[in-house]
Amino acid sequence: MATLYLTEQGSTLRKTSRRLIVEKENEVLLEVPEFKIERVLIFGNVQLTTQAIAFLLANGIETSFLSVRGRLKGKLSPLESKNVFLRVKQYEKAKDEEFRLDLSRTIVERKIKNGKTLLLRYARSHPEVDIDKSIREINRCLRALPRKERISTVMGIEGQAGAAYFKAFGKMFRKELRFERRTRRPPRDPINALLSLGYTMITNEILSMVSAIGFDPYIGFFHGISYGRPSLALDIVEEFRHPIVDTLTLNLVNNSVLKEKDFVAEKGGYFLTDEARKKYFVYYEKKLTGEFTLHNTDTKVTFRRSFDIQAHKMEKTLMEEEAYKPFAMG
């Protein structure tokens, strides 16, 4: 059990002997051997004892605090990495406009190609779904991207390709839940609720990865500096959105794992119910820990391992001037 998800409101996480215990009203809900925990995600009103906090910090276990709906509120982290030389190089590169532009084009190109791969893969199994117009627009964006000389225009291409992608993506849902366009803060329908939750989850994981290596997660290259935004983590998130979150969302909906009854409308948006959120985390964890073969290689990895691989690739790009190669969806 690499990840411990705590969602029971009013419960408490305690440390006792060689176990972590989750209890509520003097009833033990869960016991986990301490050596099986790598990360803890806490949703809503869950308490931690000082002994549990000390154990999490001493063992370098990243602990994230999220709202009940999945919005990241903060993190309990061990002392910051001593890799000061990496952060100095990161600050230097963040001021290098040519470097930022090149890296931004690389990130966006792979994001667009990953989305295209997902669409074409679905179309091969479902030829009745017409996505030709979207594919033509995506191909046009890919041809135009190398000519863009400013990050703002690279973002423009990303936006155009994203609009074409999501138009086709909406045609891929075969059950009662439908998707028309991407909306956020709040998500306006159940599909957007799943996308937003999934993107938040992988952002949180990659934020932890880059922080552990020694990066400043708030200094990005494609995503510029903005108060409170983990821009570097979001740079790396781009290459994983379609392979992880979008495919997981499609599978959960098209296989009727999650249905309309699993969502509630609240404050103008849609969110998973408490029970459905627990179910979602089971499938999310399977997605992150399931092995697959890296594109054009014989190497077996998991998506969680891929996060670490990409974070270290970014480190080499900064420290050794190695060209960055984003994650490619096979």
**Tokens found for residue 325:** 């190669």
Which residue's entry shows tokens 């982290």? 77
Please tell me what DSSP assigns to residue 272: E
Over 110-176, what HEC string results?
HHHHHHHHHHHHHHHHCCCCCCHHHHHHHHHHHHHHHHCCCHHHHHHHHHHHHHHHHHHHHHHCCCC
C-alpha–C-alpha distance, residues 252 and 269, integer Å:
20
**223 annotated ligand binder:** yes
- Whether residue 158 is annotated as binding a ligand: the answer is yes
**Helix or strand (DSSP H, E) at 319:** helix 303-319
Whole-Å CA distances, 62 to 59, 140, 264:
9, 42, 30
R_g (Cα) of the chain, nearest Å = 20
SS3 98: helix
Distance CA 179, CA 76 (A): 36
Strand partners, 27: 24
Q: Is 238 annotated as a binding residue?
A: yes
**Helix (H), strand (E), coil (C) string for 14-50:** EEECCEEEEEECCEEEEEEEHHHCCEEEEECCCEECH
Q: Which residues are annotated as a binding site for Mn(2+)?
A: 158, 223, 238
Q: Which residues are annotated as a binding site?
A: 158, 223, 238
